[in-house]
A = this chain, B = another copy of it.
C-alpha cells in the first residue's frame, strides 16, 4: 500500500480513537453507541469496522497511548532516585497522581477494562502489565540492597502494592473523585514499605523498637 494512503488511514484511525475516548469516557462502554462515536469522528457507522474488529476492540485500543505516557513519565519521575524504598514512595505518589489527572481514563481502565476477561487476553494488557510491573524491578532491587524481605514470593509483594493502590483508586473513582486522592500518599507509602521491609534487616525498622520473633503461618 502507498505510504501516503497509510498515513491517511493512520490519521483517521486516530480521530476515531479520539472520538471513542470522549464518548466512552462520558458514557461508559455499555451506554456509548457506535453511532455517536462515528458521528463525532465524522465518519459513517460502518467505517468504524474498517479500523476495528468491533466495539470492544475499539474500546481496548484506548489504553495504548495512555500506557506509553504512564510509562515514560514514571521513568522520568524515578530518574535520579536511589534506594528501593524511595522509589516505592515515588511510585505510590505517581500512581495516585496519574489518576488524579486522568480520572475519566481511570474510570475506563480500572472499572471496565482491568476486570474484563477479554481485555486480559489483549496485547494492550500485556503492555500495561509490563509497565506497571516496574514495581517488580524495584522489589528485586530492594532485595539485592537487603532492605526488602526475601521470605515472600515477589508476586505476592506485587499483589500487595498494586492491590492496595488499585483499591484506593477504584473506590475513589466510584465516589466520583469527591476527595483528594493524593492526601494520604505518605501514609500509604509507609504502610506498603513496612509490609515489604526485610524483618531481618538491621537498621531497617523504625523507632529503635526492640523486637522479637512472632508466629507465622498460624491461621
Contact = CB atoms under 8 A, between A and B. Distances in A.
Contact of A211 (B89, B163, B209): B209
Interface in A30-55: 30
Contacts of A197: 194
Which applies to chain A's interface (DSSP): helix, strand, loop or mixed? helix
A186 B93 contact: no
Contacts of A185: 219
- Report how many copies the assembly holds: 2
Interface of A: 30, 85-86, 89-90, 92-93, 110-112, 115-117, 120, 151-153, 156-157, 159-160, 162-168, 170-171, 174, 184-192, 194-195, 197, 199-214, 216-219
Given A120-B174, A167-B166, A191-B152, A214 B219 contact: no
B195 A192 contact: yes
Contacts of A195: 160, 191-192, 194-195
